[in-house]
Amino acid sequence: MATAKRKSPAKEWNYETTVSEIESILNLIESGEMDLADVFEQFSTAIAQLKECEKFLGERQQQVDLLIETLTDEDF
């Protein structure tokens, strides 16, 4: 599965920033002030960012699951 390109390789990706960008795109689309071609372009960008977020959350969930599996009653 190909990963979506991030805006700048030098800038580290951040979940919260990406969610904020998605929200901004949705607000812009909902404003109704964009040309249809721009709506589709922005929508595609938002979908790519959502996929990045989903991948990030999936990876973190796997890490949490692994940590939980390694816990024993003695750890408490």
39 occurs within a structural domain: yes
pLDDT for 9: 53
pLDDT for 1: 38
For 34, the domain range is: 15-66
6 occurs within a structural domain: no
Amino acid at 29: I
- The domain total for the chain is 1
9 occurs within a structural domain: no
76 occurs within a structural domain: no
Give this prediction's pTM.
0.74
pLDDT for 57: 98
Give CA–CA dist 5/52, Å, rounded: 9
pLDDT mean for each 10 residues of the chain (76 residues): 49 96 97 96 98 98 93 67
